[in-house]
Amino acid sequence: MQISVFGAGAWGTALAQSFSDAHQVTLWGRDPAHVEELRQDKENRRYLPGLPLNPVLRLTSDFNEAAFGADLHLVVTPLAGLRNTTRTLHRLQPGTPLIWACKGLEAGSARLPHEIVFEELGADASCGVLTGPSFAAEVARGLPAAVAIASADADFATQWVHNLHQPLLRLYANTDVVGCEIGGALKNVMAIAAGVSDGMGFGLNARAALITRGLAEIARLADALGGKPETLMGLAGMGDLILTCTGDLSRNRRVGLALAQGKTLTDILRDLGHVAEGVSTAREVAAMAERVGVDMPLCTAVNALLHEGHVAREVVEQLLARDPKQE
């Protein structure tokens, strides 16, 4: 099977690497200089240093070359690139099955990824989302992981779980696209909060409380948008949330750690060198929560810290001053 992966960042490279043992995989990167570096170095030094690329992996910066002839288009760009990538793929090779591995809410519109795809391809498109607890560096090294493919079309999800399942990258089918995408988007916001908590030395008890209450917030919003509560107990919810809030490889958690040290967001993102989707998602989810009438104090606090000029200690004090309530 021919699979074209669009996005040569850490996660796109990791998925291309994982699937290249069983399929013919092409990895597309938008920057020709970066793609040439991959060829010369035989590794992605910019995003996954020290991990040799599979020699059979095809590399290209020619979008048309990657799009034509593929049995699957797998879009692993940052969320900001999903709309244009999907639109261009539809123009070049319409009808090709599409899976995206982007997480977040579209800046300015608060669209979930599937809403973006449906606007570009139509609601009857053969498509789904790949999501779940998965650090790119570990997947690229061949360490065990489990993720979900969610699609409104149960047959699509089942088919592509069967096609892409690997011994060390286990896939599970799901039909709750909304629940899976809300879990994948909001866990990044909660990871920033967890990083702030850890950076301020609040300890493991506080982190456990934050993760638990964060999951409750995520489930409330998912329910309001039509997601299933049980989805948030699975890979795309609790699994991804725990990993991102506790793992040292989490970019969003590192943003929170740096905020607790008093660093500016501009400096943090410059030093990070990767996209931290929780930064833009925090603003969109805070507005969405107010619009749909869902109480989300943690997400609101993270947005205040990132985008409204508040400082970490002030935000924490406001959270701790909230009135007690039933769980």
Confidence of residue 81 (pLDDT cuts 50, 70, 90): very high
pLDDT > 90? residue 96: yes
Closest by CA to 227, choosing from 164, 286, 284, 292, is 292
Q: Above 70 in pLDDT, residue 112?
A: yes
Average pLDDT (180-197) is 96
Active-site option among 42, 187, 228, 263: 187
- Displacement of CA 279 from its chain's centroid (Å): 12
CATH architecture of 182-320: Orthogonal Bundle (1.10)
Share of the chain above pLDDT 70, in %: 98
Rounded to a whole number, what is the largest CA-CA distance in the chain?
A: 59
Contact 73, 6 (CB under 8 A): yes
For the record, the structure tokens of 73 come out as: 């288009």
| Catalytic (active site) residue 187 | yes
pLDDT at 273: 80
Average pLDDT, the chain: 95
CATH architecture of 2-175: 3-Layer(aba) Sandwich (3.40)
Of the pLDDT bands very low, low, confident and very high (cuts 50, 70, 90), residue 55 is very high
- Mean pLDDT over 174-196 rounds to 97
Distances (CA, A) of 176 to 10, 75, 277: 26, 19, 21
- 62: Cβ–Cβ under 8 A, 6 or more apart, which residues? 28
Say if residues 22 and 84 touch (Cβ distance below 8 Å).
Answer: no
Please report, for the chain, the start and end positions of each structural domain, with discontinuous segments joined by +. 2-175, 182-320
pLDDT (tens digit, 9 = 90+) per residue, 56-65?
999 999 999 9
For 318, the 3-state DSSP assignment is: helix
- Residue 225 confidence (pLDDT) above 90: yes
- The pLDDT of 125-136, averaged and rounded, is 97
Q: Report residue 205's pLDDT band, with 50, 70 and 90 as the boundaries.
A: very high
CA atoms in the 13 A half-sphere facing the CB of 316: 20
Per-residue pLDDT band at 310 (split at 50, 70, 90): confident
Ramachandran angles phi, psi of 34, nearest 5°: -65, -40
Which pTM value belongs to this model?
Answer: 0.94
Q: Confidence class of residue 321 from pLDDT cuts 50, 70 and 90?
A: low
How would residue 323 be classed by pLDDT, with cut points 50, 70 and 90?
low
- Distance CA(278)–CA(97), nearest Å, equals 28
Nearest to 200 by CA among 304, 301, 315: 315
Query: Does 181 score more than 90 pLDDT?
Result: yes
Does the pLDDT of residue 286 top 80, yes or no? Answer: yes
Evaluate if residue 8 carries a pLDDT over 90. yes
